[in-house]
Amino acid sequence: MNNHVMIDLETLDVLPTATILTIGAVKFDPFGDLQKEKQDTFYVKVDIDSCDRIGATVSQSTLDWWASQSTEAQAAAFDPNDRIDIHDAINQLYKFCWGAKYVWSHGAGFDVIILENYFRKIGKAIPWSFWEVRDTRTIFDIGINPQRPATKTAHHALADAVDQAIGVQNVYRTLRSSTMSNGNYIAPFATQR
């Protein structure tokens, strides 16, 4: 039941109008185990000029931040090979996300907001409703260690999406099996199975 999608972006700005470098996503079951299951993933490198043509933005502070990242992260984000037009990237992501029960990102005000801006800009329907958006930062801050695996390359959109989805699965697993109320174990999310 992989009907949740974790999305991660690498960008050249932090505003909703940010130029997108890469888009990574993975379908997952929050009660499953991505480390043991076959992963259904999505990854594209976006043509920066195609973002520029529709008014996307670049900030100097984000460029400076990228300059301070590892050479591996820079290579993954800026590799000029196999880049596709932003319209094609958004259309492909739309198809990948179609039918998702929930869409997740690492922070409520970044990845999803940027993508929704792009969907609107190119005249494509957003494949999720506002009530279907979930945020990993909130769930990771509730006091349960998400035990996220260390990714080989930090700031790689697909690796980060998978890492974040695994973290959500670990928190859900802990909540489901060990949360107590009035001395009794409770079964969070019982109606979602």
Q: How confident is the model over 142-153, as pLDDT tens digits?
A: 878 777 877 666
The predicted-structure confidence for 163-176, as pLDDT tens digits, reads as follows 999 999 989 888 87
What pLDDT, on the 0 to 100 scale, is given for residue 106? 95
Element of type H or E holding 38: none
Range of the domain at 85: 4-192
The rounded distance, in Å, linking the Cα atoms of 129 and 178 is: 31
Indicate whether 128 pLDDT > 50: yes
* Higher per-residue pLDDT: 90 or 37: 90
Question: Could you tell me which of 105, 121, 104 has the C-alpha nearest to residue 19?
Answer: 121
| Tally of structural domains, the chain | 1
Which CATH number covers residue 143? Answer: 3.30.420.10
What is the rounded (10 degree) CA torsion for 83, 153, 24, 141? -150
Amino acid at 149: P
Question: Could you tell me which of 3, 22, 45, 7 has the C-alpha nearest to residue 162?
Answer: 7
The rounded distance, in Å, linking the Cα atoms of 167 and 150 is: 11
Residue 79 pLDDT level (bands cut at 50, 70, 90): very high
Indicate whether 160 pLDDT > 70: yes
Is the distance from CB of 17 to CB of 120 less than 8 angstroms? no
Indicate whether 187 pLDDT > 60: no
What pLDDT, on the 0 to 100 scale, is given for residue 172? 87
Which tokens sit at 48?
């920066």
Indicate whether 193 pLDDT > 50: no
* Higher per-residue pLDDT: 190 or 109: 109
* Higher per-residue pLDDT: 83 or 172: 83
What pLDDT, on the 0 to 100 scale, is given for residue 181? 62
The rounded distance, in Å, linking the Cα atoms of 77 and 58 is: 14
